[in-house]
Amino acid sequence: MDFDLTPEQKDVKNVKMVEGEILCETKEGISYLTINGVKDVNILTEKTLKQLGSVLQECKENEECRVLIITGAGTKAFSAGADVGIFLKVTQEATGGAEWSRFGQSVLNLLEDLGKPSIAAVNGIALGGGCELALACTFRVASAQAKFGFPEINLGIIPGWGGTQRLARLVGRQAALELLLTGKVIDAHEAYKIGLVSRVVSPTELMPTCEALAREIIKNSPIAVKLALKALQEGYDLPLKKALVLESTLAGLCCLTEDAKKAFRSFQQKGNRGKY
């Protein structure tokens, strides 16, 4: 089975968003990605994932894009997860399930390794692959009507797009095991309690809250933001001493940038020495 992106899909100049299942618009430094999937619950089909991969590559290369906000079309769902029909296809081949899993992982890895912060604006249900998509984002902000879960276990399978790994790193081993092994669905407030999301807001405040967070990030040096993400992501699982070496190397690179030199000169000229 071939789930890889085609050369045309990898060529960001050829990406067309207006007619697809992933809608994208960039305004004032923020790229808005909307999952406009099928069946009113924004199912993640093979086509949707390929479009998402293409859009993410464009956002990575687009200097106007500083922060991504990802949400689902409508008010019912962020995404109800992967197209269950695909499993009827992949189970016909010995390696089909593993290939589908690796393909989904490759797309979500693009999101996590974008070098730019991403915010999941979870406007409704986020189940299975939809929840895994949210986990791959830098931040998760939930509407009070959002729900989260991994129902794969009820179908005799497990999450395969990074859910078993990112979830445990985010909420801890015990909380992750309870969600993964029971398949239960939790509401936004329970998700906040276990650390799955950072904020819970009313549906009307969801997008303004995400935009305000994005604008706070955009105020800062894009290089510093990128290297801070790199330091945390790559250093998180390293032994402390090795992580500190990574941190000092990246901190040194920051000091060499024109952004930093300009900020320090301005800092001194304003007489704010010692104050931030």
Catalytic (active-site) positions: 132, 152
Q: What is the DSSP letter of 153?
A: G
- Say if strands 147-149 and 125-127 run parallel, antiparallel, or are unpaired: parallel
Q: What are phi and psi of 34, to 5 degrees?
A: -120, 125
* CA neighbours closer than 13 Å in the CB half-sphere of residue 207: 13
Give the separation between CA 44 and CA 20, rounded to whole angstroms. Answer: 12
| Of the candidates 45, 88, 68, 70, the residue with the CA atom closest to the CA atom of residue 225 | 68
Burial of 51 (0-12, 13-18, 19+ CB in 10 A): buried
Q: Which two three-digit tokens encode residue 35?
A: 């999952």
Retrieve residue 82's tokens.
Answer: 């992967």
Give the span between the Cα atoms of 28 and 62, in whole angstroms. 13
